[in-house]
């Protein structure tokens, strides 16, 4: 039996003399304060809701729902995002912080720090008449600033997507590997008798660099990598090079064809993509095409959303008459997370072969004109998790032409799910079993 000198004291350790080795102070008051703060943080949104105050979507995502108990530990990890999204006065707090930063420090508040979204902002469809104007890591080598930004704030109010630079500086997969996998996919498609077209759509930082600031995270390494990346994409990867045609279009209209507050190109870019694809698939088909301005429209700009703000971009829309007479330009498609099919009667100047556009948000931003030129067209996002792999592979099987469209930042950064070994293997097998001659 242990002696009395080795037994624990018969009193709570908090009541022992401070000099005692086992003394531990009580933290009851601090613990109570912390519990009260936590209770207020999590219950205030509910109380405000009772009195009619509602949170609004001020960023490029829908408000997080209350996590389910069935999520296990995910219930606890999901609570913070739900609580943040439900703060009804968050928009006012963001504006207040920005105002203080501008007044005291002479610059905007750094609300855009943190990792960028893998897929990037999604272009918004045009605002309907009467709709509101708002939506209803370590430093890189050589960078003089710490941490990448979601949004790079340029000159004269221009905004750029931060991942344009980050992707080239810290790719998740090297470009050589990506292009090798694209070549495997190309070989599988062409071996089955189908046509394969790979097109990389340029980043805004590539086409409109003149408004970039003098210094921003990733500037040096991204600008050093870009020329070599483009050489590889257009030679080793056999990508269509849209840059000359985009530059010519911008010179023709007399202004950049990427919006100052959005990461996507405007309608002129969509026409360039559509015309280039059509000529590549069927040379000479665009000879009869006529396209003229057809009014203006406003849409929600994506980059302000990443700053917790709102903004509107104004665009010129165009007609597209493949036969020189009939305007086939239609509305923009809002979402291609699942296959979207568009068919129309063939006309002179259109392509009637079943075509798959396996793309991203730049396909969405061009859909008004792609649908005008292709009479049997399927859209599907390569980054979606809402379409099973087998269904995606079936879209390849059902097509005679496969267009693989990916934005420069995703190709340079390796965020390209179509290079997955399992996906490529499934495409190879399915196309080999369903060749066309």
Q: What is the pLDDT of residue 245?
A: 98
**Both structure tokens of 298:** 């406003």
The answer to whether residues 204 and 263 touch, using CB atoms and an 8 Å cutoff, is yes
The answer to whether residues 289 and 349 touch, using CB atoms and an 8 Å cutoff, is yes
Indicate the helix (H) or strand (E) that contains 380: strand 376-381
Q: What is the pLDDT of residue 133?
A: 37
The answer to whether residues 406 and 202 touch, using CB atoms and an 8 Å cutoff, is no
**Nearest-CA neighbor of 301 among 100, 148, 139, 158?**
158
* Choice between 156 and 63, residue whose per-residue pLDDT is larger: 156
Q: What is the DSSP annotation of 271-330?
A: HHHHHHHHHHHSTTGGGG-B--EEEEEEEE-STGGGGT---EEEEEEE--BTTSS-----
The answer to whether residues 369 and 320 touch, using CB atoms and an 8 Å cutoff, is yes
- pLDDT over 50 (residue 141): no
pTM: 0.74
Indicate the helix (H) or strand (E) that contains 46: helix 28-50
In sign, the C-alpha dihedral spanning 409, 411, 415, 418 is positive
Q: Rounded mean pLDDT of 83-91?
A: 61
DSSP state of 127: P
Q: Can you tell me the distance from the alpha carbon of 219 to that of 169, in angstroms, rounded to the nearest whole number?
A: 9
Mean pLDDT, the chain, integer: 84
The answer to whether residues 129 and 137 touch, using CB atoms and an 8 Å cutoff, is no
**What tens digit of pLDDT does each residue of 64-86 get?**
667 777 666 666 666 666 666 66
Q: Can you tell me the distance from the alpha carbon of 352 to that of 340, in angstroms, rounded to the nearest whole number?
A: 16
**DSSP reduced 3-state for 189:** helix
Number of C-beta neighbours around residue 364 at 10 A: 25
User: Domain spans of the chain?
Assistant: 151-433
- pLDDT over 60 (residue 129): no
Q: State the Rg of the chain over Cα.
A: 27
**What tens digit of pLDDT does each residue of 253-305 get?**
999 999 999 999 999 999 999 999 999 999 999 999 999 999 999 999 999 99
HSE, CB side, 13 Å, CA atoms: give it for residue 111: 24
Q: Rounded mean pLDDT of 24-53?
A: 69
**What tens digit of pLDDT does each residue of 170-184 get?**
999 999 999 999 999
Exposed, middle or buried, 34 (CB in 10 Å: 0-12/13-18/19+)?
exposed
Number of C-beta neighbours around residue 291 at 10 A: 20
Q: What is the pLDDT of residue 101?
A: 54
pLDDT band at 33 (very low <50, low <70, confident <90, very high): confident
**How far is C-alpha 117 from the chain's CA centre?**
6
**What tens digit of pLDDT does each residue of 299-331 get?**
999 999 999 888 999 999 999 999 999 999 999
Phi and psi at residue 301, to the nearest 5° = -80, 140
């Amino acid at each position: 039996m242990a002696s009395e000198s080795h037994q624990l004291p018969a009193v709570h350790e908090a009541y022992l003399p401070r000099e005692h080795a086992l003394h531990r102070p009580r933290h009851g008051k601090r613990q109570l304060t912390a519990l009260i703060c936590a209770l207020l943080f999590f219950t205030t949104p509910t109380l405000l809701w009772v009195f009619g105050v509602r949170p609004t979507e001020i960023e490029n995502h829908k408000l997080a729902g209350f996590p389910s108990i069935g999520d296990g530990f995910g219930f606890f990890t999901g609570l913070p995002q739900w609580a943040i999204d439900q703060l009804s006065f968050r928009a006012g707090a963001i504006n207040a912080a920005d105002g203080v930063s501008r007044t005291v420090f002479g610059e905007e508040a750094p609300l855009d720090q943190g990792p960028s979204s893998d897929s990037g902002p999604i272009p918004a469809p045009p605002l309907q008449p009467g709709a509101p104007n708002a939506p209803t890591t370590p430093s890189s080598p050589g960078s003089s600033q710490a941490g990448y930004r979601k949004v790079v704030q340029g000159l004269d109010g221009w905004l750029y997507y931060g991942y344009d630079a980050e992707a080239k500086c810290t790719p998740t997969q090297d470009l050589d590997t990506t292009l090798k996998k694209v070549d495997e996919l190309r070989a599988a498609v062409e071996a089955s008798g189908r046509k394969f077209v790979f097109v990389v759509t340029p980043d805004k930082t590539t086409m409109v660099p003149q408004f970039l600031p003098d210094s921003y995270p990733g500037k040096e390494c991204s600008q050093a990598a870009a020329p070599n990346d483009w050489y590889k994409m257009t030679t080793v990867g056999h990508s269509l090079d849209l840059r000359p045609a985009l530059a010519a279009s911008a010179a023709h209209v007399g202004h950049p064809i990427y919006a100052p507050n959005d990461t996507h190109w405007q309608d002129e870019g969509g026409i360039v993509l559509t015309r280039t694809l059509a000529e590549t698939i069927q040379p000479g088909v665009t000879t009869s095409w006529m396209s003229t301005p057809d009014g203006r429209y406003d849409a929600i700009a994506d980059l302000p959303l990443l700053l917790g703000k709102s903004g509107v971009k104004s665009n010129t829309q165009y007609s597209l008459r493949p036969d020189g007479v009939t305007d086939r330009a239609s509305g923009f498609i809002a979402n291609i997370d699942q296959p979207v099919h568009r068919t129309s009667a063939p006309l002179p100047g259109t392509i009637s072969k079943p075509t798959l556009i396996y793309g991203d948000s730049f396909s969405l931003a061009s859909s008004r004109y792609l649908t005008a030129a292709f009479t049997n067209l399927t859209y599907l996002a390569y980054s979606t998790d809402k379409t099973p792999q087998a269904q995606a592979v079936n879209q390849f099987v059902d097509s005679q032409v496969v267009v693989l469209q990916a934005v420069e930042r995703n190709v340079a950064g390796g965020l390209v799910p179509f290079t997955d070994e399992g996906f490529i293997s499934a495409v190879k097998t399915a196309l080999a079993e369903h060749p066309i001659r």
